[in-house]
Chain A
Amino acid sequence: MERYKACLAAEKISEHYQFTREFQSILDSAITIDPTWDYPYRAKSTAYLKSGDFITWKKLIDKAVAYDTLANLYYRGRCRFNFFRDYKGAIADFKMLKQVIYNQNKVKELLIHDDTHVDTFLALCYRSLGETEKAIEIMTSRMATPSYSSGLFDHLHLGCMYLEQEEYIEAIEQFKKQEAINDLAENRFYIAIAYKNVLDQENYLINLKTAKEYLQQGKRVHDYYVENIDKIYWANILEEEKGIPKGISVQK
């Protein structure tokens, strides 16, 4: 009954922006009614996350995880990774999520949010910690499962992992897959780098030119709140162009 009353109280936030005192106060009221409901803690935490207040955010999201682990663990891990580059903390969350799902015999669909499997984030964390081989192993194992459905940037990330390992043929293969799913300035830029390393000048120039055009069109990895992994910038393109011998141009 308390949960129902708390839910009714919390509904009033719909009229308010999440940063406002009204939004926060309404959720405080809901917490007073039912302190064991995860939702108001998580909803309150968002403004702190977006304003970079990692201390208050963590206190609130920890409460949400404590009261509903399954519903909030993926989210907490993803935020730790995206907003604070807390690789070790995110890995701990993702591993715990897998363990909880296994222990409670829950459906594995809980490991996927916004088309991205938890293994993609897990791999990105290991890669950022310098364990690129392990990251590649996680990604390729996930992709080999019959139920695998590609995330928006899976092949871009895996391609970049191969690029780091100087495995250019494998990298090119992944960037081509990315091109087929979600063609962006990023996969074009990195495939150009891979072609350059296998001395394929023609494909290097074609893809660098396309990367530049896509960047001009805004066809790129973008997020309002965080910097995506493997995002490229104008500076990357311009610096690459500087390395091109005179007489060869990527301009139109």
Chain B
Amino acid sequence: MNFKHSLIVLSSILVSCNSTDKNSPTYSRWVGDIAHDPQIDGEHFQPCHGDDQIYQYFNMQRGLQFEGEKIAIERYFLKNYQPVKTNQSGWIRVRFIVNCIGETGRFRILESDENYQERPFDKKISHQLLQLSKKLKGWEIQTKDEEPVDYYQYLIFKINNGEIEKVMP
């Protein structure tokens, strides 16, 4: 049984059992799902298979897939990011969707200090990274059973005093 079929069967079981939904109304379908927000997201970007069929980038068991591999991503940011003079350090995650034709959209930001406490960075840092992430081209189309799929991808920037120390994953 493939992954998609497994999900359908499990969903059916859950519906028939009227299981735990009422106890967890705040959870989305999957952890980290990003719903379309007309205030933020352009109309041009759409997942090819709907919001309920979006995978995680590692579900296809190939890891991060980018033209030129991970090193190209890191070099792109190190080349184009302008360091900001500040004592702010911590992590910024930019999470988004890569659709079945390699387009990206629904970018969202998560920010924390060095102690994993949520707090915004100087906009000159976070906005810059967001814009650079949106401009980054080269995400590869991933397939499941030879069918191109939509998937969630993220980039985490470890920031040290306004400079990029490391790009992950």
* Interface of A toward B, CB cutoff 8 Å: 15-17, 19-22, 24-26, 28-29, 47-48, 50-55, 58-59, 83-86, 222-227, 233-236
Contact = CB atoms under 8 A, between A and B. Distances in A.
B106 interface: no
B70 A233 contact: yes
A85 B166 contact: yes
Given A22-B19, A236-B71, A225 B169 contact: yes
A32 B131 CA distance: 42
Interface centre among A29, A51, A83, A223 (most CB of B within 10 A): A51
B contact residues, range:
35 or more
Nearest to B118: A55
Interface in B96-145: 110, 112, 116-118
Interface of B: 7, 10, 13-14, 19-21, 23-24, 27-32, 56, 58, 61-64, 68-72, 91, 93, 95, 110, 112, 116-118, 152, 154, 156, 158, 165-166, 168-169
30 contacts: A15-B13, A19-B31, A19-B56, A20-B30, A22-B14, A22-B19, A22-B20, A24-B27, A26-B20, A28-B23, A47-B30, A51-B95, A52-B110, A52-B169, A53-B93, A54-B91, A55-B112, A55-B116, A55-B117, A83-B169, A84-B91, A85-B158, A85-B166, A224-B62, A225-B58, A225-B169, A227-B64, A233-B70, A234-B68, A236-B71
B24 A224 contact: no
Contacts of B27: 21, 24-25
A54 B20 contact: no
Interface centre among A22, A24, A233 (most CB of B within 10 A): A22
Contacts of A233: 68-71
